[in-house]
Amino acid sequence: MIGITVGMVLFQYLISPYIIGWLYKIDWIPYEQFAMSYPHLANSLDKVVSLNGIKVPRLGIIHDGNPNAFTFGHTKNNARVVITDGILKYLNEKEQNAVFAHELGHVVHSDFILMTIVFAIPLVLLTIARWAYYASFFSRSSRRDSDEASAITAALIVIAALSYISYYVGYLISLIVSRIREYYADEHSAEVLEDPNALSTGLVKIAYGLLVDGQVDERKKSKVRALRGLGIFDPSAAKGLGIMSVGAQGKFSQDAIQAAAAWDLFNPWAKYYQAFSTHPLPAKRIMRLNEQCATYGLTPEIDFSLAKELKEKQAGKSMADEFLGDIFIKSLPTLIFIALLAITIVWVFALAGFYTIGFLTAQNILLLWAIGFYVIGFGSILKTKFMYKSGFEPKTVLDLVTNVKVSPIRTVPAVVEGQIVGRGIPGYYFSEDMYFQDHTGLMYIDYRFGIGIVDLIFSLSKVKRLVGQRVRIKGWYRRGPSPYIQVDTIESESGARHRNYAKHMRYIWVFFEFLLGVLFLYLWFQAII
């Protein structure tokens, strides 16, 4: 089984570049054409190739206004580096170079191979855990001496438990390694340009967005997307956006940047998502780049010194109470179910004669489950009401992204008006999500319905038509780890209206929970008759 697991990892490693090339609409460009069209990027490429003695990567463009970049391949001599039109259009040449050099950093560091090995180790441990767990069942039913079978079963269960714990720890370690590789790629970018600030300002535009005071050329409005693939390509990347202000002199408004970054720095949810992310949060990366500025005799352009003060104005000194409240609401139905399960297990052991608890009878357990499922149902309603609040008000991207208190559970009901500028994942044929722009910035739009076939139909038949249209979107603003709006309704200038029933689907589960309550209540009545 371990051999099969390793074989599957190697097989995936071999075919994944071809799968990515098939799933994403990439326009591959010969080096000569690339050098002619983008000489500043070609200069950086030539420098990296010469210093590291690697082959020129295959170069691709995705024609989407969502600024993004990623790299994939087998080895440093078989790499593909892809950028989008958004990178070329909304970042200045130095920032383009910084993002491009970051991707080349993954190439020269052989991160394709390294991260394949790092993530394969937990999979092997998980395979051992599953093998030992299922083998323990066969051991119990074997014809061996009962003492011998019991010893083997116990040993297999211990192996399964230790292997699973090792898998989980190994997985967390692999995420740490991935985040470290991102920092190394950032350092490579700074070394190539001899300026960490270029990637810092590029990250602000890509990860937080761009706002320009007064009248502005549309071409200078940042269209933002932070796919995890500012680094190793990750098709499951979550949402990305932000906001930043540029004054008439072209200088950044630090208040806007710091308000947007305060969530990364101080919201407890940020720490949670950081632990389970392949990439460091943007503010962490910028802080690390700022530390490198001294090496090049430069002053950091992005300053977070007032971020804490801005956060405290909104949320006070601590957000622990709100975080714990979010966790409680999120886990409420599950907690009730676990409590019911625990009481039932206690009853089973009492039934087996380990001890006696008078009130734990079969009839009472049935009644408890009947009441419990009603409580779970009401808990689910409370959770849905909290996560999908009413009271929609007109908002801008700037209003939303500078809200430090928002979370995946604690939402802001909002109505935004602007334009759909691209797919949520640029170039990906099956992306049902979109990217939205208003006059203050850009935001990821999460249309995910929750039923695969519905999402697929929407991605293939609706998204392409919506790109480029002005829209009015009603939905719930969330952040986890990056900002996004979960759609309730999209109204387009063509008159089409697209409704998302993800909220309503939650009430279907409530119906089944109440139905189970009725079933257990019926069984209880039968038991006492």
Residues with catalytic function: 103
Listed in sequence order, the residues at least 6 apart from 435 whose beta carbon sits closer than 8 Å to its beta carbon are 65, 66, 223, 224, 225, 420, 421, 422, 423, 424, 442, 443, 444, 445
With contact defined as beta carbons under 8 Å apart, do 121 and 61 qualify?
A: no
Beta bridge partners of 84: 62
Beta bridge partners of 61: 27, 83
CB atoms within 10 A of CB 497: 10
Distances from the Cα of 339 to the Cα of 136, 183, 237, 324, 514, angstroms: 28, 43, 35, 19, 18
Q: Is the peptide bond before 394 cis (omega within 30 degrees of 0)?
A: no
CB atoms within 10 A of CB 141: 9
Smallest CA-to-CA distance from 476 within 421, 406, 381 is with 406
With contact defined as beta carbons under 8 Å apart, do 257 and 464 qualify?
A: no
Token look-up 């929407």 returns: 458
With contact defined as beta carbons under 8 Å apart, do 347 and 304 qualify?
A: no
> Going by DSSP bridges, is the β-strand pair 211-212/245-246 parallel, antiparallel, or unpaired?
parallel
| First-residue to last-residue Cα distance in the chain | 53
Tokens of 225: 């997307």
Residue 29 carries which side chain, given as an amino acid letter?
I
| Distance, CA of 505 to CA of 524 (rounded, Å) | 29
CB atoms within 10 A of CB 42: 18
| Distance, CA of 276 to CA of 123 (rounded, Å) | 16
Give me the half-sphere count of Cα atoms (radius 13 Å) on the Cβ side of residue 438.
Answer: 21
| Distance, CA of 136 to CA of 75 (rounded, Å) | 41
With contact defined as beta carbons under 8 Å apart, do 249 and 94 qualify?
A: no
Q: Where are the beta strands (DSSP E) in 39-194?
A: 58-62, 69-73, 79-84
Smallest CA-to-CA distance from 128 within 106, 101, 156 is with 156
